[in-house]
A and B are shown apart, each in its own frame.
Chain A
Amino acid sequence: MANKATIIVHSGDMDKVYSALIIANGALAMGMEVSMYFTFWGLQRLKKGQLEKGPLSKMNMFGLGRWMVKQKMKKVGVASLEKLFQDFKELGGKVLACDMTMEIMGIKQKDLREDLISDYCAVGTYINEAKDSIITLFI
């Protein structure tokens, strides 16, 4: 077993993407290797200009709940998803994009944040990494 965490980001909800990135950064800070696999709704957040645009998973109320949570986060001093992503990359984290989702949803590489993505892959790559990871999460 490697000192590694692999995280599937299936949800594109703002709060869940926050959870995924905070856990991922925490693991890197503790000296672990981390790979994040973005698929389905999670991959939508990697489209250009879409990172901070996810709805709240509960009580979104057509965006009102989301707006209220964002205000509260600003007050408490929570980092933006963009900063968390930049930190994740700086600390050596890997970002993988699911190519099947790209086909289904008609997403091209140029539509995505290629500056953040380390590679494009399918389930085999994930399993190959996950089988040796001491932490695996599906968010």
Chain B
Amino acid sequence: MAEIKVDCIAQTCPVPLVETRKALRKASPGDIVEVTGTHPTSKKEIPMAVKALGLELIDVHEENGVWKIRIRR
């Protein structure tokens, strides 16, 4: 099982959401996609997309304005 990292630091709407979706499409079932970013709204919206896609949100972390979201495909 692979772990795929997606760096969306300093990117704004809709790039973090789109890059997350692109990575999830490329991932195989069971793979973990880890997205890091700074756009505040994307931190709320990526979990919404994960739910809409029926995938598993592992966790959401934030430190010094940088968030990290882990998703299992």
Contacts and interface: CB of A to CB of B under 8 A. Distances in A.
A72 to B, nearest CB: 12
Nearest to B46: A29
Interface residues of B, number: 17
B12 to A, nearest CB: 5
B10 A87 contact: no
**A interface, over-half SS:** helix
Contacts of B18: 25-26, 28-29, 84, 87, 91
B11 interface: yes
A30 B50 CA distance: 8
Interface of A: 22, 25-26, 28-31, 76-79, 84, 87, 90-91
Interface of B: 10-15, 17-18, 20-22, 25, 48-49, 52-54
